[in-house]
Amino acid sequence: MGGVSLCLVTTQSRSLIRIVGVAAAGALALGLAACSGGASGPATPDYKSTYKAPEPVAYAPLTGVALAAGTTVGPALSVKICNVFHCEPQDGLNQADVVFEEIVEGGISRYVGIWNSNVPVTVGPVRSLRPMDADIAAPFGGIIAYSGYGAQETRDLAVDTGLVNITENDPAMYRNDYNVAPYNLMLHAQEAIAANPGLAAPAQQWAYSSSLATSTAVLDGTPASSVQNIFSNQSDNTWTYDGASGRYLRTQWEGPDLDLTGAQLSAANVVVMRVNVDEFVGVPRTRMVDSGELFVLSGGKVVHGTWSKAGTASPIVFKGDNGVTIRLAPGNTWIEMVPLDSYVPAGSVTITE
């Protein structure tokens, strides 16, 4: 018997199992497993995972469009752009991430174009600063460029924002040979940015959807084939939806509004803000730190809501009537700031289904 393994179960063992019951039987079974010499626990898989986490996707902060891998986002460049007949055609507006249109003296309008994700070589014609431009440009950071400023108080507003101020005498400014002075001042946009290294990229201003189809206007809005914005008896424009491109196309002065390349100005989003206008050192000042009625057009539809801005450096907030943040479609945005009856006569907004 001396050669018999201790792992054998004898008659006495079986009797003991019957006496002690299930608990002892379980313990004995574990002992038998150990005696078998096999490994305990789950088997080690015989394969290796090949999964690799995808690279994170970066988005342009002012358009919501995915950036190519390795793309570096530079600072925002805000430029005061002329909008009278003598200034046409403008250069670079179709490459702007955001364009604001504002009313100025005499009932005419001007633009603040903001470039970041697609900065052209030149932009213009460049015109003079107005008192609301500091409130417009401040949240974007970076650089603001203009030809002059009128009253010193207007320039002080822009300087106080901490933005880099570029004026007419800067080396990046020059005169073109196809417009008449003073409507021919241009800016070497890329040169202006390169001359001011180390500036931070702009913060994202608004929420963006992942596609046109998932933008708030398309999901929750009503049909909007066009919108006409009348600023005054001197200035109006119409944006008409083009289903083939999924964009709104701009007309002005009874014809297509074309840039220097001959392309019609277009936008993925047209935002219409109804605004109050105050007087500041003798000129109209759109009241930006305020709130009011809002229309957002994307993909042939419109959603109604409210806009608000808490301070000079704060972004403008777009919310629907349900109180939920509006998601813009990926792409560029034009913001039409149409006046209410205030320091200037009221304009009007007409949306056609």
Higher pLDDT, 2 or 98: 98
Classify residue 209 as exposed, middle or buried by CB count within 10 Å of its CB (0-12, 13-18, 19+): buried
What does the alpha-carbon distance between residue 216 and residue 305 come to, in Å, rounded to a whole number? 11
Residue 18 confidence (pLDDT) above 80: no
The 3-state DSSP class for residue 311 equals coil
The dotted CATH code for 77-352 is 3.50.90.10
Q: What is the percent of the chain with per-residue pLDDT over 70, rounded to a whole number? A: 87
Gyration radius of the chain's alpha carbons? 33
Spans of all domains in the chain: 77-352
| pLDDT at site 5 | 39
Poorest-confidence range of 12-21, 110-119, 135-144, 242-251?
12-21
> At residue 263, does pLDDT exceed 80?
yes
pLDDT in tens, 133-159: 999 999 999 999 999 999 999 999 999
Asked if residue 111 lies in contact with residue 93, where contact means CB atoms within 8 angstroms, the answer is: yes
pTM: 0.85
Q: Per DSSP, what are the bridge partners of residue 66?
A: 59
Averaged over 182-193, what is the pLDDT? 97
Contact 298, 243 (CB under 8 A): no
Please, what is the average pLDDT of the chain? 90
Q: Are strands 333-339 and 98-103 parallel, antiparallel or unpaired?
A: parallel
